[in-house]
Amino acid sequence: MLHIAPRLNRIKPSPSSMAGQRARELRATGRDILSLTAGEPDFETPAHVKEAAIRAMSAGQTRYTDVGGTPALKAAIAGKFLGENQLAYASNEIIVGTGAKQVIFNALMCTVAAGDEVIVPAPYWVSYPDIALLAGGVPVCVDCPAAMGFKLQPEDLERAITGRTRWLMLNSPNNPSGATYTRAELQALAEVLRRHPHVWILTDDIYEHLIYGDAGFATMAQVAPDLKDRTLTVNGVSKAYAMTGWRIGYGAGPSALIKAMVKLQSQSTSGPNSIAQAAAVAALTGPQDSIATNRREYAQRRDTMVAALNAIEGIHCAVPDGAFYAFASCSALFGLRTQQGVAIETSDDWVMHLLDAQNLAALQGSAYGVPTHFRLSFAAGTDELLEGCRRIARARDELTGQAINQEQL
């Protein structure tokens, strides 16, 4: 009999991967499924990056590399941090992993012991609580209400910190809300963190280059240099350069932490893919124009989608400052019933109704710690986005009865 280790029972499969799989399965049965669940750019990896990979293969760069990443990629990452974030990191303060996700996984596995607490502001990226749980830790989710722009407030951070707190997870721009912290907001959180020197900060900056308008990007180690010696700054090429499948992410922080993470990596993956690392060097050091081109396209899609969503009675969507997700409220619909008499009571019910009644795949906000909302990706063509919104309007029109919160309609 197969024996599954208890640690696996602590976690659930990634809801976004599951939703993608469900959409593919339903499509295979002949249903006209439109999926707005993608957590990845729909653009192509830039040609010069692909060519660098081909050159690396032809030149025989097909063997194991240094566990923590090639010297060339670490130099490119150091250059990126210095040039874009005014952060100086030496080679032994940088690790390359198989995606930012593995870097985050390494960090928590190396530092979180049974019962240690990890503060996760909600809405959160689905993997933070599960990685904390897998490490034996306790995710401490802190609500960041829509009224506060989905951002962690200093007094809520102060309240959440205990003697067992190991990490604060920060993600700006945020998946799923797009919330983007200003320098002043990070400063205010830094003030709290200064009072608690045992708390480390993991900043997940993977959407750094996907900020619209004038918000500007800031990261904790840059804004509060005195906290740099307890901050792990995580980033990667997946979202900025449309390279999700290449699986290259990186982290920079104190050398003792990086050394531990490299040790763990040496006994797990042995290091990231050699060819993808060569491609990542080209991405970080080559022409950067695709970033601005893609960003302009995302900004237009964002405006189109948010306007179309807000035109639907009962759906409310704030304009996200960054990333490529619309995180809309559906709580005004709670209490209404489908044609089959099923009551819509949570975002899970609403998302299920969208799929059943209109063949639209979206993600329930409960996966992100906010059951009043649902997430739609705008990493898709404008036609698809508008069709998605038409389906949402039709799904909403099918509902009848009395909403619980009449005033929200």
What is the total count of residues that contact ligand PLP (CB under 6 A)?
Answer: 13
Query: Nearest 5°: phi and psi at 322?
Result: -155, -175
CB of 323 to ligand PLP, least distance (A): 7
Q: Does 175 bind ligand PLP (CB under 6 A)?
A: yes
| Residue of the chain from 14, 92, 187, 244 that contacts ligand PLP (CB under 6 A) | 244
List the one residue out of 185, 217, 210 whose CA is nearest residue 297. Answer: 210
Nearer to ligand PLP, 244 or 366 (CB): 244
Q: Does 249 bind ligand PLP (CB under 6 A)?
A: yes
Q: Which of positions 193-232 make contact with ligand PLP (CB under 6 A)?
A: 204, 206
Nearer to ligand PLP, 157 or 234 (CB): 234
CA distances from 179 to 50, 151, 183 (A): 32, 7, 13
Q: Does 322 bind ligand PLP (CB under 6 A)?
A: no
Nearer to ligand PLP, 99 or 371 (CB): 99
Query: Nearest 5°: phi and psi at 120?
Result: -125, 105
Q: Return d(Cα 206, Cα 128) in angstroms, integer.
A: 14
DSSP letter string over 39-62? -S-SSPPPHHHHHHHHHHHHTT--
Token couple for 276: 């993808």
The three-class DSSP label of residue 108 is helix
Binding letters toward ligand PLP, positions 117-136, x by CB under 6 A: --------x-----------
The three-class DSSP label of residue 2 is coil
Token couple for 183: 């320098």
Nearer to ligand PLP, 208 or 349 (CB): 208
Q: Return d(Cα 354, Cα 33) in angstroms, integer.
A: 10
CB of 352 to ligand PLP, least distance (A): 23
Q: Return d(Cα 336, Cα 284) in angstroms, integer.
A: 50
Q: Which stretch binds ligand PLP (CB under 6 A): 95-103, 108-116, 129-137, 377-385?
A: 95-103
Q: Return d(Cα 48, Cα 75) in angstroms, integer.
A: 19
Q: Does 69 bind ligand PLP (CB under 6 A)?
A: no
Instruction: Report the residue closest to ligand PLP, judged by CB.
Output: 99
CB of 245 to ligand PLP, least distance (A): 9
List the one residue out of 290, 289, 324 whose CA is nearest residue 212. Answer: 324
Query: Nearest 5°: phi and psi at 351?
Result: -65, -35
| Residue of the chain from 34, 76, 77, 100 that contacts ligand PLP (CB under 6 A) | 100
Q: Does 233 bind ligand PLP (CB under 6 A)?
A: no
Nearer to ligand PLP, 14 or 382 (CB): 14
Environment class of residue 156 by beta-carbon count within 10 Å: exposed (0-12), middle (13-18) or buried (19+)? Answer: middle
DSSP letter string over 143-198? E--GGGTT---HHHHHHH--TTEEEEEEESS-TTT-----HHHHHHHHHHHHT-TT
Q: Does 238 bind ligand PLP (CB under 6 A)?
A: yes
Within 8 A by CB and 6+ apart from 156, the residues are 142, 143, 144
Nearer to ligand PLP, 324 or 334 (CB): 324
Nearer to ligand PLP, 99 or 137 (CB): 99
Nearer to ligand PLP, 126 or 344 (CB): 126
Q: Does 101 bind ligand PLP (CB under 6 A)?
A: yes
Binding letters toward ligand PLP, positions 327-366, x by CB under 6 A: ----------------------------------------
| Residue of the chain from 236, 253, 271, 320 that contacts ligand PLP (CB under 6 A) | 236
Q: Which stretch binds ligand PLP (CB under 6 A): 93-101, 181-189, 268-276, 378-386?
A: 93-101
Q: Which of positions 15-54 make contact with ligand PLP (CB under 6 A)?
A: 39
CB of 223 to ligand PLP, least distance (A): 19
| Residue of the chain from 153, 171, 273, 290 that contacts ligand PLP (CB under 6 A) | 171
Query: Nearest 5°: phi and psi at 253?
Result: -175, -170
Give the residues lining the site for ligand PLP (CB under 6 A).
39, 99-101, 125, 171, 175, 204, 206, 236, 238, 244, 249
